[in-house]
């Protein structure tokens, strides 16, 4: 079976989380760059990465990498790639996206056009045809140019991996599933610890936490572009990986995962999303304002995405919202709080400086992941068995 270099893009600043995920799947990392992690794998790795990775945005099968500072170089180097090894004679292929950063070639539309033309010329000479019907399966191509280094790959995923298939409707100010999962994995939270999101909205944080706790693969409920690439990946590989993922699930667990929101309508959406994700029995969802945040037990976690006040008329409400959160957090003995927000006075209203602070882009919006860490719980005395 052929080995490939696979490229998994992710949110900037969260490469370490994705790297750990890929290593845990059993694959060797070849390179870590800003916003992406590359690794080596076979056809099974394409299936497993798409179905099992929680923090990647998609999985690209790298077909070539080279330097180009002119469109002529871009054309010739692209043409040199053995596209016939990837795209059959009836394949439908197009450059779905091209981006360029700090490079001499910067026109996305021109890059897309030239790469497509180069692939056509290559395949014409191999398949001995002058016109491609392109009535077969889809083979979308993505091009990335960074400091004149061109990376070209086939998009094995299709719709971004944040589209798990459980959230047809989003509440207000949603956070993407991949970002939510990455932020949870950045914390020390484990399924035996309490998890509360007092601004749960459509439920993304609590659903992702429940899926992590039950070891539910995030891509089980959706399809991928590369499932049609039987010339590269046998259908049996997808079936085997899905079966393995299903057998690895464990919903027979006891967890304390709670989501609250002041808006009863989004709580209804959250419940439906949790049902679609198959974790409704693992989550407690309730309409409740942040002022009523409380819990009788120690060493819990608040992990949340509060309102940012992006609309001017909402800004005036933020001191009260964050002030209430800070007050309730102070009353929760030995708890930790992890908050993603663009609100510049978050620390002020939380009543203390964050122990750690990480800059993260939520879409195009610059936010910070404030980490207020509580003490570790005492280790449980393990009984010795003879």
Tell me the pLDDT tens digit for each residue of 337-355.
999 999 999 999 999 999 9
Predicted confidence at residue 310, as pLDDT, reads 63
DSSP 8-state assignment for residue 9 = E
The mean pLDDT of the chain is: 94
Q: Distance (Å, rounded) from C-alpha 268 to C-alpha 155?
A: 35
Is pLDDT of 183 > 80?
A: yes
Distance CA 123, CA 235 (A): 25
For the whole model, what pTM was predicted?
A: 0.94
| pLDDT at residue 377 greater than cutoff 60 | yes
Residue 180 clears pLDDT 60, i.e. is over it: yes
Task: Give, in order, the Cα–Cα distances in Å from 248 to each of 224, 244, 245.
Answer: 21, 6, 5
**pLDDT, tens digit, 9 for 90 and up, residues 240-298:** 999 999 999 999 999 999 999 999 999 999 999 999 999 999 999 999 999 999 999 99
d(CA 317, CA 334): 28
Per-residue pLDDT of 286-339, as tens digits, reads 999 999 999 999 999 999 999 986 665 578 899 999 999 999 999 999 999 999
For CA atoms 18, 20, 25, 27, the dihedral sign is positive
Question: How many Å apart are CA 253 and CA 213, to the nearest integer?
Answer: 8
The C-alpha atoms of residue 224 and residue 319 are separated, in whole angstroms, by 44
Residue 383: the pLDDT is 45
Residue 42 to residues 4, 47, 70, 140, 234, Cα–Cα distance (Å): 6, 9, 33, 19, 12
> What SS3 class is residue 359?
strand
Per DSSP, helices labelled H in 261-317 are 264-277, 312-315
Among the listed residues 66, 28, 69, the one whose alpha carbon sits nearest the alpha carbon of residue 45: 28
pLDDT in tens, 37-54: 999 999 999 999 999 999
For every residue of 28-90, DSSP letters joined together read EEEEEETTEEEEEE-HHHHHHHHHH-SS-S--EEEEEEEE-SSHHHHHHHHHHS-GGGTS-TT
Say what percent of the chain tops pLDDT 70: 96
């Amino acid at each position: 079976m052929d080995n490939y270099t696979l490229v998994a893009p992710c949110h900037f600043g969260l490469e370490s989380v994705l790297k750990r995920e890929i290593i845990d799947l059993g694959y060797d990392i070849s390179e870590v760059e800003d916003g992406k992690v590359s690794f080596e794998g076979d056809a099974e790795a394409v299936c497993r990465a798409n179905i099992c990775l929680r923090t990647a945005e998609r999985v690209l099968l790298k077909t070539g990498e080279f330097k180009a500072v002119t469109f002529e170089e871009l054309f010739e180097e692209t043409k040199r790639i053995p596209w016939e090894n990837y795209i059959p004679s009836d394949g439908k292929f197009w450059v779905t996206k091209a981006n360029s950063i700090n490079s001499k070639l910067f026109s996305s539309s021109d890059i897309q056009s030239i790469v497509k033309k180069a692939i056509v010329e290559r395949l014409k000479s191999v398949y001995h045809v002058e016109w491609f019907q392109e009535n077969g399966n889809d083979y979308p191509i993505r091009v990335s140019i960074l400091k004149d280094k061109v990376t070209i790959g086939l998009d094995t995923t299709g719709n971004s991996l944040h589209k798990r298939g459980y959230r047809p409707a989003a509440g207000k100010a949603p956070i993407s599933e991949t970002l939510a999962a990455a932020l949870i994995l950045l914390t020390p939270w484990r399924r035996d610890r309490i998890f509360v999101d007092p601004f749960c909205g459509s439920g993304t944080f609590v659903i992702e936490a429940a899926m992590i706790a039950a070891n539910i693969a995030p891509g089980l409920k959706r399809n991928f572009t590369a499932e049609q690439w039987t010339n590269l990946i046998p259908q049996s590989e997808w079936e085997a990986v899905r079966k393995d993922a299903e057998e690895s699930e464990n919903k027979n667990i006891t967890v304390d995962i709670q989501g609250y929101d002041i808006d009863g309508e989004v709580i209804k959406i959250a419940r439906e999303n949790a049902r679609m994700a198959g974790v409704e029995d693992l989550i407690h969802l309730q309409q409740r304002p942040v002022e009523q945040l409380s819990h009788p037990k120690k060493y819990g976690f608040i992990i949340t995405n509060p309102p940012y006040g992006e609309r001017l008329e909402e800004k005036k409400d933020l001191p009260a919202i964050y002030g209430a959160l800070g007050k309730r957090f102070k009353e929760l003995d030995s708890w930790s709080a992890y908050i993603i927000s663009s609100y510049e006075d978050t620390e002020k209203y939380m009543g203390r400086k964050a122990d750690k602070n990480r800059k993260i882009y939520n879409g195009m919006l610059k936010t910070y992941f404030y980490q207020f860490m509580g003490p570790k719980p005492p280790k449980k005395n393990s009984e010795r068995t003879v």
